[in-house]
A and B are shown apart, each in its own frame.
Chain A
Amino acid sequence: MLNDAVTVFREDAEDAVRIVSGMLRRGEGGEAFRERRRAIAWSATEAGLQSPAIVEESGTAVRVTRGKDSLLVACDGDGPEALRAVVREASRRAGGSPFFKTKAAPPRRVDTGPSGPDEEGRATLIASALARALPDPRGLSMTLAIARVTVSRAVVTARGLVPCGEATRLEVTGVLRRTGATRSFAFQSSAPFASACDALARALAEATRPVPAHRAPEGRVDVVLSPEAASVFWHEAVGHPLEAEGGERTSVLTRVARASVAPPGYFVTSDPTRRELPGSYLADDEGTPARPVPLLEDGRVAGVLTDRRTAGAETNGHGRCGDFRRPPRPRLSALTVSGGRASRDELLDACGGGLYVREISAGHIDPESGRFSLFVESADLVRRGRLSAAVAPFVLTSDVLTALRNLWGEAGEVSAPASGLGLCVKRGEPLPVGGASPAILLRGLSAVPGRP
């Protein structure tokens, strides 16, 4: 069973460590990486669940670094033979020949089938969530891919085997169509399966509401972001610019290290140890133990997210890869933001006239210039400090430094997890990320009507 995947990785750990240790020559660093991914997936339409699928992939990679250059060799399989094959190829490319003096590896356990009563029950829970979300699907057409994905990873260094952890999440992506509008839908949750299905039902019901005819105001606007929407803002505006990449001065926030960019009282942390949030892990994909890294402390830029390539031994454990075939890069995990003291009504009151954003479906940032765009799917007008009519989708833009400078000094009381923050795609490489933030008030963003 997959729950034992890390145990399986341990079965030949002693040999694996010896092989990795023997592969590395003087002046070289490196490790082996093992991954197993299993998904039970369903296609779904407005008529309910359609076709089931089961997928299991496993892979092994070795990574070798010498000076600033590095090599990764990967193949399928997560057993001893796969490890030998990649080490053989890595050594061949380095002009050496590996020495495999190992004990006989124990026979690998063969996984049993997926279709037990548990899966029957899970399918029923998903079907029930869809039925609750769409009690009357007339006029709606949708194509969803729903998957329960479990990923297990471990790193083998020259010293030992480091489990990165095992994460299970419910992932849903797809397209919803109503007369006159199409929208994409993304959802993920690491909560227990029944709770995740309840959250899915709520998110889907919200996403399938008819699109309001009322257009959002155009131009400069003050915006209250709900906790879920605020998580996407922090992810784009603070998280990505503080992923260490290509030198210290290439992003709008790394150029102002230690500077005060937001009002005092804002603490933003990339915290992979928050197990209840997607994007958490025990150790990163280079075997460095996970730890919280402050990015903003009391409104000041406090740190950057690093891996071994960017920080060597000083890495703070944010080297992550999309799968075993890809090299680790500094990437966000779960971004948490400290709560403040303002209630939602106080935030709306301070906003006066503007918008209350419930859902942001996607975002984009150019870290160099700091320009960002947030694609808003669901929002209400705010008039005289009260919620008013719902408005049609629109895009919010600004630049990071201006937006943080115009952040209202008091955040909402409750820092809530964001279920809509799904896979973060950077350089075409998707990774699960999470977030938890209070509601916030941002002044002076630019609103452009229209759907992404």
Chain B
Amino acid sequence: MTAPADTLFEEVLAAASASAHDGEGGEVYERRGAALELVEDEHSLHASVSTERGFAVRLFRSGRTSFAASGAASARSLPAEARLLLSRSRSRRGARPAPAVAGAAPPEFLAPPVRPDEVAARGLLVAFRRALAAASDGAVLLGEAALTLGARTERVATTGGRDVSFGSASATLVATVSARTGAGRASARVVAAAARPEELGLARLAHHAVDRVLLPLKGRPLDPGRWDLLLDPLVAASIVARLAPAFFGEEEDGFLAARTRDGRDALAAPALTLVDDASAPGGPARTTHDAEGTLQGRTVVLERGRLATRLTDVAAAQRLGTGATGNAFRRAFSEPPAIGVTNFFADPSSGVPPLDLLRSLARGFYAAVLLSRPQVDLAADRFRLHAAGYWVEKGRATEAVSETLLSGRLSELLRGIEAVGDDLKFIPAAGGGAGSPTLFVPKWKG
């Protein structure tokens, strides 16, 4: 709605820089977004289109920080509002405006994002409905499918000389599916997220949806015991997602310190390498800069089971005495940045085809889907998964398993991983994505 070359950002930045001579630093952030959501059920189609333009200001003085955010209409008053709050903040080491990014030319203006393609979106919904029908032979009904396509452009400038702009896009499909058999009824929501609509993996989501509602309605429950364990990538990814906060530079590192004797021991088996990579193929995030404007790259946090480094924003990097890894994350323009993940995943580069892993199961359980929210407590070193899948003998699935509980010490599970697959898949997690290939844990007792 606003002319692209308006000077609002510069005005806010000038106001945020007004007290720079008194040792005050400032950061101005602008986000422009466009989103399209199509929600389709048996009877109706709902379309939502929205645009947003929001500003946020952070001020820094002697380790104190304050934050103010609003839409464009009130943006000019943000520096004054933040300045009034600054004196009430508590000082913390490392809080300061981000420095200039080498080689980055200041953007002339922040272009509004390209609006998502509605025709393509409708085509995706049709394609998913067909994929679900094909995957289930009509046994699974689609209650509702919601497809959201988003695009945004962002700009960050600081009194430290940083001034960068960047853009990104996202696609999310959420489907509510249900099934009725002689054994009962079940419904579930399944989600796929990608950086581009064409990367959503509709056929894979359809198969996952079918397993999620049909497996609990057939087969038998499996009692805990000692057997080989094979975790489907989407099941394993849910554990990887819960591990991520342990590697945030902001967090207390009690879990890592306790489980690795302050880094002397390995946290996991050598088969496991954990990586955060904003440009990982197939990942839901595909960005060039983080929410503070830091360039992003590939960060290995766990190398062959051993702690390598932490994920940081500017302040955490300052405290740790390292370079920022580009992991500042804003859920919305109205929230201050915090450390988060982009695409956080178990590296499949040393992996083998998942069928080879399946063949190596002498007698075990293949966990295909989660039936409820995974429970992972880093401090207590415990996990519990409520899963359904297949009983496998001599590398062949012999029986469906309607439900079982997998639980135990998280550190034992991580150290028990003997091999990983080469089939990396992602789930949405905390603004980015968490991913894993198939994981093989022999002789798990749970």
Contact = CB atoms under 8 A, between A and B. Distances in A.
Chain A partners chain B: yes
Interface of A: 43, 47-59, 61, 68-77, 79, 81, 85, 89, 93, 110-111, 113-115, 120, 123, 141, 177-182, 246-247, 250, 309, 325-327, 364, 366-369, 373, 427-428, 448, 450-452
Q: Which 10 A-B pairs have the closest CB atoms?
A: A368-B187, A115-B84, A68-B44, A53-B67, A74-B50, A76-B71, A72-B48, A182-B379, A52-B85, A56-B70
A366 B186 contact: yes
A369 B52 contact: no
B382 interface: yes
A49 B85 CA distance: 13
A71 B42 contact: no
Contact of A366 (B1, B89, B188, B334): B188
Given A76-B54, A247-B42, A111 B379 contact: no
A182 B377 contact: yes
29 contacts: A50-B92, A51-B89, A51-B90, A53-B68, A53-B85, A54-B67, A54-B68, A54-B69, A55-B334, A72-B48, A81-B1, A111-B74, A113-B80, A114-B85, A115-B81, A115-B84, A179-B379, A246-B143, A247-B42, A325-B35, A325-B48, A325-B50, A327-B48, A369-B184, A373-B372, A427-B174, A450-B375, A450-B407, A451-B382
Interface in B93-108: none
A427 B146 contact: yes
Contacts of A428: 174
B21 interface: no
A54 B44 CA distance: 39
A50 B250 CA distance: 14
Interface string B240-266: 000000000000101000000000000
Contact of B334 (A57, A69, A452): A57
Contacts of B52: 59, 75-76, 325
Contacts of A54: 67-69, 81-82, 85
A16 B187 CA distance: 42
A327 B44 CA distance: 13
Given A85-B1, A177-B379, A369-B184, A74 B46 contact: no
A392 to B, nearest CB: 10
B47 A70 contact: yes
A55 B48 contact: no
A366 B92 CA distance: 45
Interface in B22-74: 35, 39, 41-54, 64-74
B178 interface: yes
A73 B88 contact: no
B384 interface: yes
A110 B334 CA distance: 19
Contacts of B252: 141, 177
Contacts of B39: 327
Interface in B206-236: none
A59 B52 CA distance: 9
Given A57-B70, A115-B84, A51 B372 contact: no
Interface string B168-184: 00000010101000001
A50 B89 contact: yes
- Most A C-beta atoms less than 10 A away, residue of B65, B71, B80, B146: B71
Given A57-B334, A180-B380, A75 B50 contact: yes
B46 A69 contact: yes
A85 B1 CA distance: 7
Interface in B390-414: 405, 407
A380 to B, nearest CB: 21
B122 interface: no
B130 interface: no
B88 A52 contact: yes
Contacts of B90: 47-51
A261 to B, nearest CB: 17
Contacts of B189: 427
B185 A368 contact: yes
Contact of A178 (B85, B92, B187, B379): B379
Contacts of B43: 68
- Most A C-beta atoms less than 10 A away, residue of B143, B377, B380: B380
A452 B385 CA distance: 10
Contacts of A250: 143, 178, 187
